[in-house]
Amino acid sequence: MSSPILAFDGVTAGYRGKPAIEAVDLHIQPGELVGIVGPSGSGKSTLLRAVTGTTDIYAGTVTLHDRRVRAGHPTRDIGFVPQLALVEPDTPLRAADAVLHGLAASSRRVPWYSKAERAKASALLERLGLAGYERQPIGELSGGQQQRLLLARAMIADSSLVMLDEPTSGVDLQTLQDILGLLDELNRAGTTIVLTTHDLNWVAASLPRIVCINQRIVADGAPADVMTAEVLERTYGASVRIVRDGDRILVTDDRPHAASTSEAR
């Protein structure tokens, strides 16, 4: 097996001296597509931020491309899509410029971007259904459009690892389908993708590897092995019912008459 692109070895990390994840061991191989699931406050975002060097690491090591990640030191060759936080409407930043920020660390030290870089930004915006929005201030875009734009920013540097924090939250169905289609396309082209989500049915149906976390890793494996009532109860502290129909896995609320879930394919 090749060496992992991303490795957590006994990692305890958090904020202000308070660990949000503890003793995490997780190795991700190049080209994998991994979903991290867990309840709110379980440390999903901290796990990603430990890779970007924006959280404190109290024990263990995070290794990216065989180089140790240190808190406060920026890492390279990552595309990162943060949780959506809407930008103010009057922010004077055009959509294309926001996407091009993804190249800020590697681009030439002049205030403008090259024709090729601009063409790449336009092509990405087009792929994400934002053709014609290049000159639109980002604050005038809808939440779903801003989420697509953040994904374009994460993709523009052709990073070998793209991490997404809750990309499925707060977006409409069309945006969701576009984003997921693009992630699938990226992954097929060899990009390693790690994302966090609350959408259990979607990860069960779409991702080959799922990591359940609640401060510590509870389970790690293929959906068929991980999506069990016992594992999810240990992860979420709530009882669920798993319905299996061939390859399909459906997670439902275990309470009587609960029918709040959607079937995943």
Partner 1 sequence: MHLLTEPFEFAFFPYALWAGVFVGALCGALGVFVVLRRMSYIGQGLSQSVLGGVAPAVLSGIDPYLGAVAATIVAGLLINRVGRQHGVRPDAAIGIVSTVLFAFGVALVSANRDRAVNLNDLLFGNILGVDSSDITLVAATTAVLAIAGFVFWKPLTFTITDAAGASAHGIRAATVEAAFTIALAAAVVVSIRVVGVLLIAAVIVIPASTSRLFGRSLGPVVIAAAALGAAAAVVGMFVSFHVEIASGPAIVLASGAGFALALIASTLSSVLLVRRARAAHA
Closest separation between CB of residue 17 and partner 1, Å?
Answer: 11
Evaluated on CA atoms 194, 198, 202, 205, the torsion sign reads positive
CB 86 within 8 A of CB 170: no
Residue 219's DSSP bridge partners are 212
Closest separation between CB of residue 245 and partner 1, Å?
Answer: 39
Helix (H, G, I), strand (E, B) or coil at 124: helix
Closest separation between CB of residue 73 and partner 1, Å?
Answer: 8
Sheet with 6-15, side-by-side order of all strands: 18-28, 6-15, 56-64, 67-68
Which residue's CB is nearer to partner 1, number 156 or number 210?
156
Positions that interact with partner 1 (CB under 8 A): 15-16, 49, 52-54, 72-80, 82, 87, 90-94, 97-98, 101-107, 109-111, 135, 137, 150, 153, 157
Which residue reads 């090591």 in tokens?
61
Which residue's CB is nearer to partner 1, number 1 or number 85?
85
Closest separation between CB of residue 3 and partner 1, Å?
Answer: 22
Length of the chain: 265
Which residue's CB is nearer to partner 1, number 153 or number 209?
153
Which residue's CB is nearer to partner 1, number 6 or number 219?
6
CB 194 within 8 A of CB 254: no
Closest separation between CB of residue 7 and partner 1, Å?
Answer: 19
Which residue's CB is nearer to partner 1, number 153 or number 240?
153
Structure tokens at 37: 């699931």
